[in-house]
Amino acid sequence: MSHSDLLHLINSLANYPALETVDEPTRKQLLESIEKLHRKVETPIDFTIRTVFGSHQAMVLRLAVDLGLFDAIAQQGGTATTAQLAKSTGGDELLVSRIMRFLAAINIFEEFALSTYRTTPLAAAYTSQSPLSAIVIHATHTLVTMSQLPAYFAETAWKSPDDATNGPFQHTHRTTQTFFEHLGTNPHLQQAFNAVMSLDFRRSSSTKQWFELYPIESKLFPATTTTSSSEEEDPNRATLVDVGGSQGRDLLALCQHLSIQQQQQPPPLATSNPFSPDHPSRRTQPKLILQDLPAVISSIPASVFTTFPGCITLQPHNFFDEQPTRHARAYFLRTVLHDWPDRQALQILGRLRDAMAEDSVLLVNEGVVPETRAGLMAVQTDFIMLCNYGALERTRAQWVDLLERGGFEVCGVYGEEELQRQQGGHVLFEARVRRACS
């Protein structure tokens, strides 16, 4: 095939209508094939320019989000001049023109006349109501710290950070606050972070949920779980505590999996006895607790809050403090520990270990970095952990080692199939307090 024939074939495929309706697995395979072709023809100069200027694109996208350009052009009916956009956003027209010109160059907007732009499906994805705009805000804030990594490692003799209070983030922002404490002082960043945590853009729609990997019905429900006689008689025992569970996405998915209907009244906030008998259906449904910081619990949108089944109790809690719900059947940590280096992760595990009964289980749902040939998403996320939290994404061996040093024995690992990992799914570690594992 000649070069001209190859170009003609590629251009004809780009206009193939069926590409817009392919299923998700096929779409990902197409992207991988396109990337292979891209790498085949890309020179080192091409690669360098694309890589080092990638942050420029992210930052200009952030400027457009902050200025409200995506909302502004939508309010103009999808087409607007730079003068109109400057007037509606309050930005300087020259600056607006430069931002729009940049975004048109990367195909976010279409420039079809002098100083006149129209929206595209891609641009519509970054309005203020879109969760993708929150990803832009959160990720570009990390770039500030990322830019200071050379200076940080030069000062620390190229040692990987091991403390959430003394890492690249603190070095960059000249603070002793952790990243999470910093978020608490900046509502704009906190809101973006909460929105991002309510998503899971690393997991495809075909990836199994944690409760589809783990035999939850046989492991956690009283009728089939071996307990002491005193615990069998205790109607107040919690079934599962979602520690650091953000806005309850995982508990809601679990309730849907168990066919638990949404409530008629808002869920209660936990008191000293969160499962008092006056709560309806307590005896026939699992007793689920959602824990996170008070600011996170209070930020749960009403549209989500009102969908919680009555078996979910909201409990404001800092997981570095003593665990208020003791002897639950299970304590669940999903993508929590990867936010913390070993020093702080062991403190979190210690609080849970101290609260657990002999038959309680700890369920840790986390991404696992392959020992070899790790994918781009895994290594990118690892550096986000490094920058923001002084933490890391761990291999299977590192997870097992962490849990064992925390006083646990790993009783099972679920979801290790190659396909599950390739699709971005997380592994579930089941652990018990040491010497309690059967």
Q: In this predicted structure, what is the pLDDT of residue 281?
A: 41
Q: Coil, helix or strand for 275?
A: coil
What is the value of pTM for the model shown?
0.83
Q: In this predicted structure, what is the pLDDT of residue 229?
A: 45
H helix intervals, 53-156: 54-67, 69-75, 82-89, 93-105, 131-146, 149-155
Reported CATH class of domain 25-125: mainly alpha
Q: In this predicted structure, what is the pLDDT of residue 343?
A: 96
Q: Is the pLDDT of residue 143 over 90?
A: yes
Dihedrals phi, psi of 309, to nearest 5 degrees:
-65, 160
Cβ pair 236, 273 in contact under 8 A: yes
Strands 361-366 and 427-433: antiparallel
Q: In this predicted structure, what is the pLDDT of residue 353?
A: 98
H helix intervals, 201-262: 210-213, 216-220, 229-232, 249-257
Q: What is the CATH number of domain 203-222+237-263+284-433?
A: 3.40.50.150
pLDDT digits (tens, 9 = 90+) for 32-64: 899 999 999 999 999 999 999 999 999 999 999
Q: In this predicted structure, what is the pLDDT of residue 203?
A: 55
Q: In this predicted structure, what is the pLDDT of residue 120?
A: 95
Rounded average pLDDT over 310-339: 95
Q: Which of 30-34, 112-116, 320-324 has the lowest mean pLDDT?
A: 30-34
Strands 240-243 and 110-113: unpaired
pLDDT digits (tens, 9 = 90+) for 189-212: 988 988 887 776 555 544 788 999
Q: Is the pLDDT of residue 422 over 80?
A: no
Q: Is the pLDDT of residue 30 over 50?
A: yes
295: confidence class by pLDDT, cuts 50, 70, 90: confident
Cβ pair 381, 426 in contact under 8 A: no
Most confident of 106-120, 194-208, 225-239, 271-285: 106-120
Rounded average pLDDT over 309-319: 92
Which one is predicted more confidently, 107 or 373? 107
Q: Using CA atoms, how far apart are residues 293 and 35, in angstroms rounded to an integer?
A: 41
224: confidence class by pLDDT, cuts 50, 70, 90: very low
Q: In this predicted structure, what is the pLDDT of residue 262?
A: 62
Q: Using CA atoms, how far apart are residues 290 and 269, in angstroms rounded to an integer?
A: 10
Q: Is the pLDDT of residue 92 over 90?
A: yes
Q: Is the pLDDT of residue 16 over 90?
A: no
Q: Using CA atoms, how far apart are residues 369 and 398, in angstroms rounded to an integer?
A: 10
Amino acid code (one letter) for 373: R
322-354: buried (b, 16+ CB within 10 Å) or exposed (e) per residue? Answer: ebbbebbbbbbbbbbbbbbbbebbbebbebbbe
Rounded average pLDDT over 330-357: 97
Q: What is the DSSP string of 334-378?
A: ES-GGGS-HHHHHHHHHHHHHH--TT-EEEEEE----SSS--HHH
Q: In this predicted structure, what is the pLDDT of residue 73?
A: 97
Q: Is the pLDDT of residue 283 over 50?
A: no
Cβ pair 341, 405 in contact under 8 A: no
Strand partners, 330: 240, 361
Strand partners, 332: 242, 363
Q: Coil, helix or strand for 380?
A: helix
Q: Using CA atoms, how far apart are residues 426 and 345, in angstroms rounded to an integer?
A: 18
Cβ pair 269, 316 in contact under 8 A: yes
231: confidence class by pLDDT, cuts 50, 70, 90: very low
Q: Using CA atoms, how far apart are residues 344 and 166, in angstroms rounded to an integer?
A: 12
Question: Token digits for 11?
Answer: 């251009």
The mean pLDDT value of the chain amounts to 87
Which one is predicted more confidently, 227 or 406? 406
Q: In this predicted structure, what is the pLDDT of residue 265?
A: 58
Q: In this predicted structure, what is the pLDDT of residue 282?
A: 43
Domain parsing of the chain, residue ranges: 25-125, 131-197, 203-222+237-263+284-433
Q: In this predicted structure, what is the pLDDT of residue 254?
A: 92
